[in-house]
Amino acid sequence: MVLEEINEKVLKLSGDVSLSDIYSRFPDYELLVEPLNSKMPLSEFISSGGFGYGSLREGPLNSKIFRIKWKRPKYSFSYGLTNSTLYAAGYPLHRMAAALPHPLYNKSLGEIQEIVIPVRDKENVKVIYEPGEGADFHVPPMASNVLFVNSKAASAIGLPGQGMVVTYLSEVAPESEGADAAEFLQQRFIEDSLVNGNQMLRILTQKSGAAKLYELAGEDNLFFALFINVGLLVIVFGESERLAAIKDQLVEMPLTYSL
């Protein structure tokens, strides 16, 4: 495992490193974009699109990569620089850095061996829970993260009911809207625990697609929708038969992709 700071707030990581590994080694730093699973290898997170907490402001983690190394059975690659993102390094990795829906999503990059990526000092944030009814998907002004949960999902992570968990930078947080939900920060890696005993479906979609998926999930499955820069990342936990039925509907839904 490679986990080292090669420049101020620039880390070199092997592909098997997880977010938990990073935060154990560098407790004062945070990634600009966090996966919803703190134990997932970063190589897997990058290959699935790199969308997570922080993507509303920052886009996918892939767009923050400085350098990447990966191998396939017959050849290997090293691409990028140690002090600028892949956008500055030229084609062909622009599409991967942008993480836009594309047939490349269905093709393996191979084994990601190493990445060089920037981090930042941990931000001071305020987390607020706002109760709601129905598929009410909106982003409050100045929010840095917005996660919608249905009733069953709320119960699983200790919230009083359906609604939104909204994160603000402390200096721009509203004074009186919603209830304090600081404890959610310890529960935010929902895939760590909820995947146990459940199947999971991860979907990239738009607001209308999220509303349809909310209906398809019903009250018996755990439904989460995280706002990102290009729409919403929907996570549904439930029984395999129900999730398979939902997945079958995706081909008929515009701008909706299984990740």
pLDDT for 156-190, tens place per residue?
Answer: 999 999 999 999 999 999 887 789 999 999 999 99
pLDDT for 106-116, tens place per residue?
Answer: 456 678 899 99
Question: pLDDT at position 87, please?
Answer: 63
Long-range contacts of the stretch 182-188 (C-beta < 8 A, 24+): 182/126, 182/127, 183/158, 184/127, 184/129, 184/157, 184/158, 184/159, 185/125, 185/127, 187/157, 187/158, 188/34, 188/36, 188/53
The domain limits of the chain are 3-121, 125-258
Average of per-residue pLDDT values in the chain:
89
Question: pLDDT at position 105, please?
Answer: 46
64 has a pLDDT exceeding 60:
yes
Question: pLDDT at position 107, please?
Answer: 53
Count CA within 13 A, CB hemisphere, residue 164: 23
Q: Which fold has domain 3-121?
A: 3.30.465
210 has a pLDDT exceeding 70:
yes
Question: pLDDT at position 150, please?
Answer: 96
Q: Output the pTM of the full model.
A: 0.91
